[in-house]
Structures are given as C-alpha cells and as structure tokens.
C-alpha cells in the first residue's frame, strides 16, 4: 500500500486528523514558508502523536549541527533536505544522526525543462553512496521548490520511479482529484501533499484530507 505523507502541518488538530484518516507520516516546515513552524512548537505536537507515525522535518539549512538540533528538539524521526543535492552535508548528517533519523533527499523536476537526465544522474550518485533512505521528486517553478501546487510531467518521469535501489516519493500538484492517477502512472513508493489538502496555507481542509487519503490508500 502506498506510503502517504501530509506536509505543512502547523496545528495538533490537523496532525491528529491526518493520523486518524490513515497518514503514515506528517511533515513540518522549518524554512521560509507560509507554513513555517519552530522546533519548540512542533515538539508540542509530536508529543501527542503515536510512536508509529513518522515525523519529518523539511529543512533548507546547510548546517548539520543545526539540523540535528532541530531533529532532537522537535521530536522528529526523519529529515527532508531541500535546496539541492549536497553530498558532504548528507555524510555529516549520517555521521551525526546515525539511525536516529532517516534522510530524505528532495530532487526537483523543473517545470518547463527537460529534467529527466539530470535527475537520473543525481539518483545514481545517491544510490551508489547509500547515504539516503528515500528520494522525493517535487516540482520546481521559478525559485519555488515546494508547495507550488503544480504537477510535473508524470509520463516523462515514469522511468525515474521504476528503481529497485531507491524508494521514490512523488510530490508537487497532488490533490484528491489526481492522486490515483499519479499512483497509477508512476507507481511510486510514496506520495506527499501539502497545498492540495489545505483550506489556506498551514490550515488543512478536513474534507480534502479525507478525500486525498481515501484515494491514495484505496
């Protein structure tokens, strides 16, 4: 069954509803965003979540010590790295965190460009080093590398998701109306949604959340 992450959470009520409806993971954004939260605030949420729910921090920092501090203060189980592939940072985080937190590397399909070959090369490098637990492929529109609400070309990207050596997650433009199509087209290990289940930035819409999880899990 497809793994589902609900990202951009800012309240305990939204996080608990996502868990109740069947989410496998919750994402919290520690970077410039309308959905930005602090480690101290997230700690008040994660303290009330079941142990089997993954708690993922989305970071743009290039400071391994800062990221490790966020993981521990916020009570996270995984880090999702944005801002481009930085192999030395991945090694530093693996050394600091060990098995304390999984590493998820975000790679971007740039809307309006041919991104397949570049992404394939980046995935090959990541797989060969065995530093990352999962890959997330998201849309990039201009300078925006997440929460864009824009889907990339799934047909063109299909081959990237057909790997035995990496768990690949799809993000970007997913919503209740198209998540089944994305799963059917890409056969991803997991799906990730933020803006597609919101009433407003940082505030989830219960009906959209219910419909998304029902479609993704069904």
Find, among 41, 39, 42, 7, the residue nearest to 25 by Cα: 7
The catalytic residue among 7, 14, 102, 192 is 7
- Mark whether 165 is an active-site residue: no
Cβ atoms of residues 188 and 175 within 8 Å:
no
Cβ atoms of residues 139 and 150 within 8 Å:
yes
Kind plus residue range of the DSSP H or E element containing 72:
helix 64-74
Residue 42's SS3 state is: helix
Question: CB neighbours (10 Å) of residue 51?
Answer: 5
The catalytic residue among 63, 86, 133, 138 is 138
Any residues with CB less than 8 A from the CB of 207 and at least 6 apart, and which?
A: none
- Mark whether 138 is an active-site residue: yes
Q: Name the residues annotated as catalytic.
A: 7, 138
């Amino acid at each position: 069954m497809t793994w589902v992450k609900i990202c951009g959470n800012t309240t305990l009520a939204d996080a608990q509803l996502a868990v109740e409806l069947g989410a496998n993971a919750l994402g919290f954004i520690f970077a410039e965003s309308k959905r930005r939260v602090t480690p101290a605030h997230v700690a008040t949420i994660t303290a009330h979540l079941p142990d089997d729910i993954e708690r993922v921090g989305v970071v743009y920092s290039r400071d391994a010590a800062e990221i490790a501090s966020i993981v521990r203060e916020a009570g996270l189980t995984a880090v999702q790295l944005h801002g481009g592939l930085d192999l030395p940072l991945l090694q530093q985080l693996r050394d600091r965190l060990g098995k304390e937190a999984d590493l998820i590397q975000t790679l971007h399909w740039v809307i309006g460009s041919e991104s397949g070959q570049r992404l394939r090369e980046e995935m090959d490098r990541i797989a060969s080093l065995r530093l990352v637990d999962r890959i997330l492929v998201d849309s990039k529109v201009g300078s925006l590398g997440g929460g864009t609400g824009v889907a990339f070309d799934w047909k063109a990207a299909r081959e990237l998701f057909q790997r035995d050596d990496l768990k690949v997650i799809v993000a970007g433009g997913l919503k209740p109306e198209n998540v089944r199509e994305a799963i059917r087209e890409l056969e991803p290990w997991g799906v990730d949604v933020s803006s597609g289940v919101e009433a407003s930035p940082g505030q989830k819409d219960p009906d959209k959340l219910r419909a998304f999880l029902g479609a993704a899990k069904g």
